[in-house]
Structure 1
Amino acid sequence: MKIVNVLGTDYKIFLRSINDDETFEDCDGYTDWTTKEIAVRVEEETEKGSLKDMDCYVKKVLRHEIVHAFLFESGLAESSGETEAWAKNEAMVDWFAHQGEKIYKAWEEAEAL
């Protein structure tokens, strides 16, 4: 188990199989702001037709869930109104998770950190 600090709050990161967590029947990862846990689905055996680089995919899902944690800890999830609002919008969260490394590099280059 790893721990990541999100705006001063420690979140425990769990890598679990679908056999250990039935929540994964509907998703590949989730963030529980009530328990401060992030869970990402991993499978020991590669399913037929699945991605070839599962480690890459697990990292993508983990980045996505960490963005959710930042939104929760910022108070933005509660402020966004409906489930379809921007702070809970899956496409927006994916965009941040996908572009985060590039944004960080730009901040470094600009000495904005």
Structure 2
Amino acid sequence: MTTVNILGTEYKVIREPFADADTDGYCDYTSREIRIRDDNVNEVGDFDELMRKQLRHEIIHAFLAESGLQANFEHYKQFGHEETIIDWIAIQFPKMIKAFQSVNAI
């Protein structure tokens, strides 16, 4: 288990096997935990890369929750946040950070 600081709040990052093959991870802002699958039950080709993206996805959920935005999105009754934009940020962030760094914007 590791921890990540989200706007001054420590979240535990727990990697564990999931019984549900449809879930790769989730963020529980009430317990300050991010749980990520560590078993490749779906036999994904680059499982490590998928889990890095999944961890980014869950960290973004945590940032939104710690910003007071845990239920202020279009699908809040179903997911808590709009999943499309969460995934977009999680997938594009490595490219974004490189762009920011290349022009000394960090």
Which TM bucket (shorter chain)?
Answer: 0.7 to 0.9
Matched residue SS, 2:49: helix
Q: TM-score, normalised by structure 1?
A: 0.79
Which structure features the higher share of helix residues? Answer: 1
Supply the distance in 2 between the matched residues of 1:108 and 1:92 (Cα, whole angstroms): 22
How far apart in 1 are the matches of 2:24 and 2:75? 23
User: Where in structure 2 are there 5+ consecutive unaligned residues?
Assistant: none
Structure whose CA Rg is larger: 1
Q: Which residue of 1 aligns with 2:27?
A: 31
State the alpha-carbon separation in 2 of the partners of residues 26 and 38 from structure 1: 17
Find runs of 4+ consecutive structure 1 residues off by over 4 angstroms: none
| 2-structure distance, mates of 1:81, 1:50 | 32
Q: Gaps (5+ residues) in structure 1?
A: none
Residues 81, 57 of structure 1: CA spacing in aligned structure 2 closer, same or farther, 3 A cutoff? Answer: closer
Deviations 1:32-55 (A, max 9, x none): 001110001121xx54x6212211
CA RMSD of aligned residues (A): 2.3
Aligned length: 105
Deviation at 1:71, TM superposition (A): 0.8
TM-score, normalised to structure 2, is: 0.84
Letter in 2 for 1:30: Y
For residue 2 of structure 1, what is the aligned residue in structure 2? 2
Report the AA paired with residue 105 of structure 1.
K
